Amino acid sequence: MIAQLGPESAKPSGPVDRMNAMIDGIPPMHRMGLRIVALSEEHVIGAAPLAGNHNHIGTMYAGTQFGVAEVVGGALWLPNFDTDRVYPVVKDLQIRYIRPATSDIRAEASIGTATVQRMKREVVATGKSDFVIDSVLTDVAGVVVATAVGTYQIRSR
Amino acid sequence: MIAQLGPESAKPSGPVDRMNAMIDGIPPMHRMGLRIVALSEEHVIGAAPLAGNHNHIGTMYAGTQFGVAEVVGGALWLPNFDTDRVYPVVKDLQIRYIRPATSDIRAEASIGTATVQRMKREVVATGKSDFVIDSVLTDVAGVVVATAVGTYQIRSR
């Protein structure tokens, strides 16, 4: 029996699908092939493919690594906040390249529940709240290729 | 009379053309529309279009701003070094977003002759040399939208 896939079943529902739909709405992120592969209230994993993202020495372009580092930090907003009420922006990001990335990469980041509680109080009181996220980028062998630290802000719509 | 455009006349010659040819060889940079518009031994100007680079709030994607900031720093290598003998990599880049970029943007950066002299000595002695470049990103009205500081390294091939 062939499954009947109507508009409802095609609609993104979970946080991973919702975040990937957001990525696909931002053309340069979509073109780099950035993906969120896991997303909970406390933890996120993103991915970037080497294919289509080579630089002048055949390794992964610095900007694609920036892209996956940046998006995992911002993504932690989604499962923690009412996305109809607040949206995230990045204020500052520093990325340190440690080894050339010669494969697909993953980026992982976490946020603590105390941080989210602080942010919820601040956004109610002032309409915005900053948060700082460290992310670690690894290749398919698990070797760290880069680390990043980003300062983000959620703002009331 | 129709100009005869043979392989020689189509070959990039000046530093701007050579750098843009290099950008066009790096797919994600090419797809963001990054351009070098001026490049001398001491100064560089790059550009990024808003078209095709919108983010979730309609302003320029943070990663495209990263891209133009990163490329201007690296580009200063080209007019100062024998590009057949040394190539640049980026080791670290921090970008601070100051205002939303709501138009095409430019990035400007400079390098001092004393820095280039130091680098030339170091690359002969050790095969590599680091350099730090500040860049300033402005919109079409000349308003600063972001600043960046990158640490790059040239390496012997």
User: pLDDT tens digits for A68-115?
Assistant: 999 999 999 999 999 999 999 999 999 999 999 999 999 999 999 999
Backbone φ, ψ for residue A31 (5° rounding): -70, -25
What's the pLDDT at A10? Answer: 46
Min distance A152 CA to chain B CA atoms (Å):
10
What is the percentage of chain A residues whose pLDDT exceeds 70? 92
Tell whether the model's pLDDT for residue A7 goes beyond 50.
Answer: no
Tell whether the model's pLDDT for residue B73 goes beyond 80.
Answer: yes
Tell whether the model's pLDDT for residue B1 goes beyond 90.
Answer: no
- Are A150 and A92 a contacting pair, CB within 8 Å? yes
Residue B70: which of A22, A26, A63 has the nearest Cβ? Answer: A63
A contacts of B95 (beta carbons < 8 Å): 92-94
Do the chains contact at A28 and B53, CB–CB below 8 Å? Answer: yes
Non-local (6+) Cβ contacts of B75 within 8 A are: B19, B36, B39, B44, B46
What's the pLDDT at B13? Answer: 80
- Are A121 and A53 a contacting pair, CB within 8 Å? no
State whether residue B57 sits within 8 Å of chain A by CB: yes
What is the average pLDDT across B59-63?
98
What's the pLDDT at B12? Answer: 59
Q: How far apart are CA A114 and CA A121, in angstroms?
A: 11
Using H for helix, E for strand and C for coil, what is the string for chain A?
CCCCCCHHHHCCCCHHHHHHHHHHCCHHHHHHCCEEEEECCCEEEEEECCCCCECCCCCECHHHHHHHHHHHHHHCCCCCCCCCCEEEEEEEEEEEECCCCCCCEEEEEECCHHHHHHHHHHHHHHCEEEEEEEEEEEECCCCEEEEEEEEEEEEEC
Containing H/E element for B70? Answer: helix B62-75
State whether residue A63 sits within 8 Å of chain B by CB: yes
Min distance A53 CA to chain B CA atoms (Å):
6
State whether residue A51 sits within 8 Å of chain B by CB: no
State whether residue A6 sits within 8 Å of chain B by CB: no
Q: Which value does ipTM take for this structure?
A: 0.92
Do the chains contact at A63 and B56, CB–CB below 8 Å? Answer: no
Which residues 115-154 in chain B show a CB within 8 A of chain A? none
User: pLDDT tens digits for A130-150?
Assistant: 999 999 999 999 999 999 999
Tell whether the model's pLDDT for residue B58 goes beyond 60.
Answer: yes
State whether residue B96 sits within 8 Å of chain A by CB: yes
For residue A32, name the pLDDT band (cuts at 50, 70, 90): very high
Q: How far apart are CA A134 and CA A141, in angstroms?
A: 21
Q: How far is CA A122 from CA A74, A75, A116, in A?
A: 17, 19, 10
Do the chains contact at B61 and A29, CB–CB below 8 Å? Answer: yes
B contacts of A93 (beta carbons < 8 Å): 62, 66, 94-95
Q: Which residues pair with B60 in a beta bridge?
A: B54
For residue A13, name the pLDDT band (cuts at 50, 70, 90): confident
**pTM (two decimals):** 0.92
Residue A66: which of B26, B27, B63 has the nearest Cβ? Answer: B63
Min distance A88 CA to chain B CA atoms (Å):
9
What is the average pLDDT across B124-135?
98
Q: Which residue has the higher pLDDT, A19 or B9?
A: A19
Q: How far apart are CA A135 and CA A156, in angstroms?
A: 25
Residue of A nearest to B65 (CA): A63
- Are B104 and B50 a contacting pair, CB within 8 Å? yes
A contacts of B49 (beta carbons < 8 Å): none
Residue A52: which of B22, B27, B32 has the nearest Cβ? Answer: B27
User: pLDDT tens digits for B4-48?
Assistant: 444 444 455 899 999 999 999 999 999 999 999 999 999 999 999
